[in-house]
Each structure stands twice: as structure tokens, then as C-alpha cells.
């Protein structure tokens, strides 16, 4: 170690080493990396035909920007100092606190998030406040007199509870000052000067909206709220109801603060008798046919109202025995403490309570008690309460029913949104008044532009003409056709003439340039298997294929009986892709014609590595900033297990372009990672001299497929992250990609552009006075976009009326130096490169989603 004047510092000698031990050199510490910030907007796009639009943003005025929000930490305990762990108790306690101690709290109104944070406009009198609050607890788990018997249920307390219809609970509430948040942070953000307090300040006024809805008895799901109004319910079957509600959140935009309101949908359990829910959920007609193991899983933690007490309870399980046999100990009235009798739940209700039970005798009881003290009710005395979320995965039939029943025409949606803003009556909210917030009642007008669709090329250099985001391959050949060889057909349909289908497919393939050989064989399902479970049917079919074929096929065509809701589809795909890695295409032809066969062949050709079409700007090549410099385009996302499968590993996937200067050809790489983890941890995985990460695979494939050229530019599209995760993507994931490049070549310094593609937002655009969707190619980069950052909305696809949602693109990092027009046209063009479709898709590199589903299985 050297001193500043070049002389050695006077250090103590090193400690002696044991014999045979060599000292290890300490790792050199790296200088901390400078954190990146999102790039600033460098202008506005000009290309395209102008179009006037309106959007579901409502302008907000903020008058008291000089005031402060005061943040207090909330600590709730019972009177014995044990923490409150019951979800949903907090709002009731804080509301009672506000009523009881108004004077001590300077008559302040609270904005409470329902958990640990409370906000006021202006400070409370004390930095730390402690209170005792007594709350009427209607939904106690204790046994009322006219409710179910529990183990050792005392009759004396029963009589007392008849006179007092509810219990009380005592809470200790501690409010401790945590932070001071200036409201001016919002107005500064509107001028493009975001501070550390900006998101906190906007979060506070969002919490005010949530609290306003909670007071109206709504179900709250993040920033959405749902009223208990049957007119908002659509029955999806299986005991599940789609509940229409509304999303509302404040947004900082170029035109000022705005309130974004949109229609939202969540799934709830169908309210009503528990037995009706179970019959619908299991698709049976008689209670004796119910699978009670499944029923126990479906009912756990749901809230019920028991009759005749009309008392709320939470289901914890089911009894082990039927109601006629389930015993409990009942203490006799007016007798000594030790005088009790064993009685069944059925006899207690029929004889002691004079309640007629029609069908519960042979069914398990509902348990609402505690682990060591169960409390049982006959099933027919229990009804499910409304507005309870259904969090399990929907079936294919339920999903399609939800889409169909919740679709709204643009004009209808606008009318509904205007109505909900009126009925919400935010102007009467005291805390919004204290902030000086007023909300306009009219939709915000924005200027849009409709970009020209990119031109496409088919085989033999023929032009493909697109119209309204759609095209076809009538009388055209594919630009790069594959061969369909070593294949077979499996037939699960009793109605399809498979031989004719194969003949027509071979003939159509010849016209499109695809050589389709005759299949090895056609395997018809054994008719005796058609009533078997789907997995067993698939296993039996695979046994046929393995037994009769000389080797593993390269491709399997699967004929299904039902087009949309086949229960064979999932198990078949899993078997082919996950277990055997066999390319497969499912069909369910109701009417076979050239158009249908062509669409099937497009999918088969893409899956086997062929290409159906190219962008004309690829063949020139003439893509600004991309065609002249070797450029790789990456699409990244993480997919998670379906609801109810939280322990399933998540799948991180990257698709990457190949064969530069093409931008229509992609490969895919995947890794598993911890369940529900959104950030990708496998982009760069160094192990001594090797990198086992996803990015290395993509870079090497680009190098080998692009004439041994390394990409000098890397364009990254990241999907599936929220705004709160932008900094992690920008400073962690991007850094991993940079390090993966450096690991291959330390002197290699490509330029990077990082773009977030968001579909999970609530901004919609409408054409004033017209019932149509906005046209494909519509782009908006003004008024409702970020006041500082580089972002824009694009609607590139033609969806069903009332279903189109623009994609919100955020450019976080741009070393390549795109101007708005060039970048918007590139993004628009990438919506036309999905090889399995003849329509533009909604997200640039949106093909990655379906690719990931397939490759993820493998």
C-alpha cells in the first residue's frame, strides 16, 4: 500500500502463516455503478395521418400545493398486546378511533391504506399517539345462542348473547410519525421535475380514492373497486361470477394531473346457499355426488352468513363425519358445570332449536371454529356472502364466456365511465377538498396519428396488401417453405373425415410451396376411451403412436372434436412438448376450405422453422438505424403459474432476432426461476470460464446466423413489469445484459436501447361520435403521456369492437439515438412479423408470448 507522497505507510507486519498454507489474494473491489435514470423525451412524432381522439382521463386541479401530507405508522394490537392479524379489521378500528377521539386528533380526516400507513393533511397534535378503541365485532368467531354448537358450548353465555346481538373487542392503536410529504412534489412532477416524494404524494391521493370506495362497501382490488350490485354480475358457470367494477388512479401527464377511470373486472364466488355453489362448482346435480375433499379446498376461508342468526363467520374446514353422526359436548341448562351430554349436530338443531333440516343429515358440517374448538353448522343453514374473490384459474369455457359477456362497445363504455364518475361523487370527499383537488367531468381530448401499415412480401417477391391490420395468402406462396416429413395424424374426433383432410392439406401445401409428405399413419381414438378423463385419453393415444411408428415423429397433427373448449388440448400439448419435444398442431375443422387449410399451414410452417412473409423494408434493406448496423432485437418476459398454483416455478424467457438484417426471424431461450419472481435472474450466469445465461445463447446464435457478425446495437423489449420495477430493469437486468456481452469480449461495446411494453394499464382511446375502435397504427405521444420521460401509446392491431387496448411503450434507455418517428415506425413494423398470424398483433414482438408458452413447456 502506498501513501499519498509515494512512501510506504507504516503498517504492522502480516500475521504468521501455518505451514503449507498459501494466502489468497483478496478480490479487487469494483467501483459502484452509477444508477441510470429514464431518458428524457427528445421530441414528438410527426408521421401519419392526424386523428382527433378522446381518452378516459379527466383533468384534475390541485389548489393547495403548498400543504404537506403527514405519514403515520399504524400499530394495531389487541388489549393483551398480541398483534392484530385479521385482515380487514384495520378500517373498522381506525374509523372508530376517528369518531371516539376527534378532539384529541384535531378533527383531522384520515387517509388509511387498510394496513400500516395513515396520512393526514397537516400534522396531528402529537408525534406519537396511543389510544384504546372498543369496536362492535359483528363477525366474531364465537358461538351465538342461535348459531351452531361448538365443543363445550356453555348455555349460560348463549342466553347472554341473545340479549346482546354482537360482541365487542378492545384494541390498542399506536400512531407514530413517519414522514412529511410535500404536495408540491406533484406540481413539480407535472413540470418534469420528479423528486423522491412524487410517487409517495400520488400514492396518498390514490389511497384517498380507495378509502372513499371502501366507505361505500366496495370490494377493493388494488386500484379497482366493485359494488355489490347484481346488474354488474355475469354468471360464468361453475359457481363463479364475473363482477364488473371500476379502476381509478391519478396520473401525472403532460397536460397536468389527471384521473384515469376505466371499467375493470374481477371474479367472485357466486353468493347464496353453500350447497348451490358446490353443485355448480363440481357440475353435479345431487349433494350425494359432491367430492367433499374438493369442496373443502374450495370453501376454505370463504365468509358465510348463518341462519337464523344472520351472523358472519369464516369457514375453516368441514367436519370429519356427517351431520347425523358428528358429536359435540352440550352442557345442560341450569345444571352444574360438569353436567353435560353428547349430542349430534343434527339432533341439536332439530330437537333443541326446532329447525327442520331437509338434506344436511348425510352431509358434512361447515366448521367455523378454531383448531382445538370446532364450531359446526349444517350446510343448508349457510350462505356465501357477496363480493368474495375467486382466485383460482378459470376454465377455457369460463374465460371465453367472460370475454364475450364483458365486452362493451366504445360508446357504451364512455357512457358507463361518465356515469361512474358522477355517482362516485369525489367532490364530496373531505380529504380531496382539503387537498384542493377538483375533478373535471369531461374526457380529455388528444391528438393521434395513424401510421401507414408496413408493406409485406410473400414468396416469389409478390406483394401482400394489408387492410385494417389484416391480410391473406390467397394465390400466394410462402417466402421460405419448410418440409412436412416423418409425421402422423392422431384423431380424437368421431365426425371428421381425416383422410380427406390429409389429402386436402397435402394439395394446399403444394400450392403454397410446402412439400407435405404422406403421413406415417392415422391413429383413430378407440371409441371406448371417449368417456375417459382427458389425461388418460392422451396417454392411450401416445401408446398407440409409440407402438406402431418406427421412430419418433417430427410432427403430429391432432384432430380435436371441439374447437374452443376441448379438454384434450392442454394435456396433449403438455405431452408433446414437455415430455417428447414433438412439434404439434391441433385442428378442429367444422368447415374445411382453402382459407382454413392455409391458416393451418402457416402455423405448421412457422413451427417447423419456415417463414411465411417478410417486411418489404427487410428485403431492401431499409430500416432506419437497424439495417446498416448489425442489430439484435430481444424480447424478454417472465411467466408465472396460474392462480392457485403459487408454488409452480416461474419461467424466464428471451426471444432474439437472427439472420440480420432480418427482423422477422426469432429463436427462444428459457430458464426456470423462483415462483412469482418477476425480475429475471438468469440473463447472465457466469461459472468460472463459462456463462450459462440466456443472453449468451442469443448472442452466439445471432453471430452464427448473421455471417459471423457481432451485434453493434441491442434493442430490448421488456414485457410484464410495472412502473415501480422500471429502475430494477434499468439498473439490474440491463447491467446483466451488458456484463454478458463483456464476458464474451471485454473490448466489445454495443449500444443499447431498452423499451418497456405495458399492456396492463387502463388508458383507452375513443373516436368522438363514432362507434368504431381506433384504427390500427394509431399512436399518441401527447397530453396523457409522461411530462418528462420518453413514452407513447400505440394501438397496432384490429381487435373486436370494444376490446382494443393500446400498448404503452416506455423508452428507459437509448444509446442508439432513435427519433420518435423512426422508433414508432419500427415498433409498428414489429407488430406485423408474427409468422403464425395474418393479423397485426397488439405488442411489438408479441409473438414471444405464444412462443414462450410452447418453449416454456419444453
pLDDT (average), residues 173-195: 87
Question: For position 176, what pLDDT does the model report?
Answer: 93
CA distance 214 to 227: 10
Higher pLDDT, 23 or 744: 744
Kindly tell me if the per-residue pLDDT of 855 is higher than 70.
no
Q: For the residues 219-242, what does the mean pLDDT come to?
A: 90
70: which strand partners? 120, 180
* pLDDT at position 331: 76
Q: Is 56 helix (H, G, I), strand (E, B) or coil?
A: coil
Question: How far, CA to CA in Å, does 552 sit from each of 78, 154, 321?
Answer: 66, 71, 52
pLDDT band at residue 443, thresholds of 50, 70 and 90?
very high
> pLDDT value at position 337?
59
Count Cβ neighbours within 10 Å for each residue of 237-272 and write b for 16 or more, e otherwise: ebbbbbbbbbbbbbbbbbbbbbbbbbbbbbbbbbbe
CATH of domain 614-761+805-857: 3.30.420.10
Q: At 367, list the grid cell.
A: 366448521
* Region 608-615 average pLDDT: 92
Give residue 579's pLDDT. Answer: 83
Given a cut of 90, whether residue 51 has pLDDT beyond it is yes
- Is the pLDDT at 503 greater than 70? The verdict is yes
Number of residues that this document lists for the chain = 858
Helix or strand run (H / E) with residue 211: helix 198-215
Residues 548-590 pLDDT 10s = 888 889 999 999 887 656 788 888 888 888 888 899 999 988 7
701/706 Cα distance (integer angstroms): 8
**Mean pLDDT for the stretch of residues 484-494:** 91
Checking if the pLDDT of 393 tops 70, the result is: yes
Burial 809-839 (b: 16+ CB within 10 A, else e): bbbbbbebebebbbbbbbbbbbbbbbbbbbb
Asked if 481-607 and 614-761+805-857 have one fold, the answer is no
Kindly list the domain boundaries of the chain, sorted by start residue. 272-384, 481-607, 614-761+805-857
State the Rg of the chain over Cα: 32
Residue with more model confidence, 160 or 328: 328
Mean pLDDT for the chain overall: 86
CB 208 within 8 A of CB 120: no
pLDDT of residue 163: 36
Identify the pLDDT of residue 5.
46
Per-residue pLDDT at 742: 94
Average pLDDT over residues 716-727: 91
778-806, pLDDT tens digit by residue?
999 999 999 999 999 999 988 777 668 89
How large is the average pLDDT for residues 64-68? 79
**Above pLDDT 70, what percent of the chain?**
89
Confidence of residue 702 (pLDDT cuts 50, 70, 90): very high
Q: CA nearest 673: which of 697, 649, 699?
A: 649
- Is it true that the peptide bond before 387 is cis, omega within 30 degrees of 0? no
Query: What integer pLDDT is reported at residue 24 of this predicted model?
Result: 58
Q: Count the neighbouring beta carbons within 10 Å of the beta carbon of residue 457.
A: 18
Q: Which CATH number fits domain 481-607: 2.130.10.10, 3.90.780.10, 3.40.50.2300, 3.40.50.10860?
A: 3.40.50.2300
pLDDT for 44 beyond 90:
yes
Average pLDDT over residues 325-342: 75
Amino acid 165: pLDDT: 42
pLDDT score recorded for residue 12: 56
**CATH 2.170.260.10 for the 272-384 domain, yes or no:** yes
What is the average pLDDT across 838-850?
Answer: 71
- Give 517's pLDDT tier (boundaries 50, 70, 90): very high
Alpha-helical (H) ranges within 531-674 are 534-548, 569-573, 594-607, 616-619
Beta bridge partners of 673: 650
Query: What number is the average pLDDT over the span 517-543?
Result: 90
Nine cell digits for residue 516? 407435405
Q: Mean of the pLDDT values across residues 320-329? A: 88
Is the confidence at residue 851, as pLDDT, over 50?
Answer: no
Lowest-pLDDT range, 92-106, 401-415, 592-606, 627-641? Answer: 401-415
Q: What is the pTM of this model?
A: 0.86
pLDDT tens, position by position, 662-689: 999 998 888 888 888 889 999 999 988 8
Strand positions, DSSP E, 183-289: 219-221, 224-226, 233-237, 240-253, 256-269, 272-273
Amino acid at each position: 500500500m502506498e501513501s499519498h507522497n509515494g512512501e510506504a505507510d507504516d503498517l504492522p507486519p502480516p500475521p504468521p502463516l501455518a505451514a503449507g498454507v498459501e494466502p489468497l489474494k483478496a478480490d479487487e473491489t469494483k467501483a459502484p455503478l452509477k444508477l441510470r435514470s429514464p431518458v428524457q423525451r427528445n421530441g414528438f412524432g410527426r408521421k401519419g395521418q392526424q386523428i382527433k381522439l378522446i381518452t378516459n382521463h379527466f383533468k384534475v386541479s390541485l389548489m393547495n400545493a403548498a400543504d404537506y401530507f403527514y405519514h403515520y405508522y399504524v400499530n394495531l394490537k389487541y388489549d393483551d398486546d398480541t398483534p392484530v392479524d385479521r385482515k380487514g379489521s384495520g378500517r373498522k378500528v381506525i374509523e372508530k378511533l376517528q369518531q371516539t377521539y376527534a378532539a384529541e386528533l384535531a378533527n383531522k380526516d384520515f387517509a388509511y391504506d387498510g394496513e400500516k400507513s395513515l396520512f393526514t393533511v397537516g400534522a396531528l397534535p402529537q408525534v406519537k399517539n396511543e389510544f384504546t378503541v372498543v369496536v362492535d365485532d359483528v363477525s366474531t368467531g364465537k358461538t351465538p345462542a342461535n348459531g351452531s354448537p361448538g365443543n363445550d358450548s356453555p348455555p349460560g353465555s348463549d342466553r347472554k348473547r341473545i340479549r346482546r346481538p354482537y360482541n365487542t373487542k378492545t384494541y390498542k392503536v399506536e400512531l407514530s410519525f413517519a414522514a412529511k410529504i410535500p404536495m408540491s412534489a406533484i406540481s413539480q412532477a407535472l413540470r418534469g421535475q420528479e423528486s423522491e416524494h412524487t410517487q409517495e404524494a400520488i400514492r396518498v391521493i390514490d389511497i384517498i380514492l380507495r378509502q372513499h370506495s371502501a366507505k361505500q362497501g366496495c370490494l377493493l382490488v388494488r386500484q379497482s373497486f366493485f359494488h355489490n350490485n347484481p346488474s354488474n354480475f355475469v354468471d360464468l358457470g361453475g359457481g363463479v361470477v364475473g363482477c364488473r367494477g371500476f379502476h381509478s388512479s391519478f396520473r401525472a401527464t403532460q397536460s397536468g394531473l389527471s384521473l384515469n377511470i376505466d371499467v375493470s373486472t374481477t371474479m367472485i364466488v357466486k353468493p347464496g346457499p353453500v350447497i348451490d355453489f358446490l353443485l355448480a362448482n363440481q357440475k353435479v346435480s345431487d349433494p350425494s355426488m359432491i367430492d367433499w375433499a374438493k369442496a373443502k379446498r374450495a370453501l376454505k376461508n370463504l365468509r358465510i352468513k348463518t341462519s337464523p342468526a344472520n351472523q358472519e363467520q369464516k369457514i375453516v374446514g368441514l367436519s370429519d363425519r356427517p351431520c347425523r353422526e358428528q358429536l359435540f359436548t352440550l352442557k345442560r341448562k341450569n345444571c352444574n358445570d360438569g353436567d353435560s351430554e353428547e349430542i349430534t349436530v343434527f339432533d341439536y338443531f332439530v330437537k333443541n332449536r326446532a329447525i327442520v333440516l331437509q338434506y344436511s343429515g348425510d352431509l358434512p358440517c361447515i366448521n367455523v371454529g378454531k383448531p382445538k374448538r370446532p364450531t359446526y353448522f349444517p350446510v343448508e343453514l349457510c350462505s356465501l356472502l357477496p363480493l368474495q374473490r375467486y382466485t383460482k384459474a378459470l376454465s377455457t369455457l369460463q374465460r371465453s364466456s367472460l370475454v364475450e359477456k364483458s365486452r362493451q362497445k366504445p360508446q357504451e363504455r364512455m357512457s358507463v365511465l361518465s356515469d361512474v364518475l358522477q355517482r362516485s361523487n369525489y367532490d364530496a370527499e373531505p380529504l380531496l377538498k382539503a387537498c384542493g383537488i377538483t375533478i373535471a367531468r369531461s374526457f380529455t381530448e388528444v391528438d393521434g396519428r395513424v401510421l401507414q401499415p408496413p408493406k409485406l412480401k410473400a414468396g416469389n417477391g409478390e406483394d401482400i396488401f394489408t387492410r385494417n391490420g389484416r391480410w391473406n395468402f390467397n394465390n400466394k406462396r410462402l417466402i421460405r417453405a419448410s418440409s412436412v416429413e416423418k409425421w402422423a395424424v392422431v384423431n380424437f374426433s368421431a365426425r371428421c373425415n381425416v383422410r380427406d383432410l390429409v389429402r386436402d392439406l397435402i394439395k394446399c401445401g403444394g400450392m403454397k410451396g410446402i412439400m407435405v409428405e404422406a403421413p406415417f399413419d392415422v391413429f383413430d381414438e378407440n371409441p371406448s376411451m371417449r368417456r375417459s378423463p382427458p389425461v388418460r385419453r392422451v396417454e392411450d393415444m401416445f401408446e398407440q403412436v409409440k407402438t406402431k411408428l418406427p421412430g419418433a415423429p417430427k410432427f403430429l397433427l391432432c384432430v380435436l372434436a371441439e374447437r374452443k373448449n376441448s379438454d384434450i388440448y392442454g394435456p396433449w400439448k403438455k405431452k408433446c412438448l414437455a415430455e417428447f419435444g414433438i412439434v404439434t398442431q391441433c385442428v378442429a375443422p367444422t368447415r374445411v376450405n382453402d382459407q382454413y387449410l392455409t391458416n393451418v399451414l402457416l402455423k405448421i410452417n412457422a413451427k417447423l422453422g419456415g417463414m411465411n412473409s417478410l417486411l418489404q423494408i427487410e428485403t431492401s434493406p431499409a430500416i432506419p438505424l437497424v439495417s446498416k448496423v448489425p442489430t439484435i432485437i430481444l424480447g424478454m418476459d417472465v411467466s408465472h403459474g396460474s392462480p392457485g398454483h403459487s408454488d409452480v416455478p416461474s419461467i424466464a424467457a428471451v426471444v432474439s432476432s437472427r439472420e440480420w438484417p432480418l427482423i422477422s426471424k426469432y429463436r427462444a431461450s428459457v430458464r426456470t426461476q423462483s415462483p412469482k419472481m418477476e425480475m429475471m435472474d438468469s440473463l447472465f450466469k457466469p461459472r468460472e470460464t463459462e456463462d450459462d445465461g440466456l443472453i449468451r445463447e442469443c448472442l452466439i446464435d445471432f453471430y452464427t446466423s448473421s455471417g459471423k457478425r457481432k451485434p453493434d446495437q441491442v434493442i430490448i423489449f421488456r414485457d410484464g413489469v410495472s412502473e415501480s420495477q422500471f429502475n430494477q430493469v434499468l439498473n439490474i437486468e440491463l447491467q446483466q445484459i451488458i456484463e454478458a456481452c463483456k464476458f464474451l469480449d471485454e473490448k466489445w461495446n454495443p449500444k443499447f436501447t431498452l423499451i418497456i411494453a405495458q399492456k396492463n394499464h387502463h388508458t383507452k382511446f375513443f373516436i368522438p361520435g363514432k362507434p368504431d375502435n381506433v384504427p390500427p397504427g394509431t399512436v399518441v405521444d401527447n397530453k396523457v403521456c409522461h411530462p418528462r420521460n420518453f413514452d407513447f401509446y400505440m394501438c397496432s392491431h384490429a381487435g373486436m369492437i370494444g376490446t382494443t387496448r393500446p400498448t404503452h411503450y416506455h423508452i428507459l434507455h437509448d444509446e442508439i439515438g432513435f427519433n420518435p418517428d423512426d422508433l414508432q415506425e419500427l415498433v409498428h413494423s414489429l407488430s406485423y412479423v408474427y409468422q403464425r398470424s395474418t393479423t397485426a398483433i397488439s405488442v411489438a414482438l408479441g409473438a414471444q408470448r405464444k412462443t414462450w408458452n410452447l418453449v416454456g413447456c419444453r
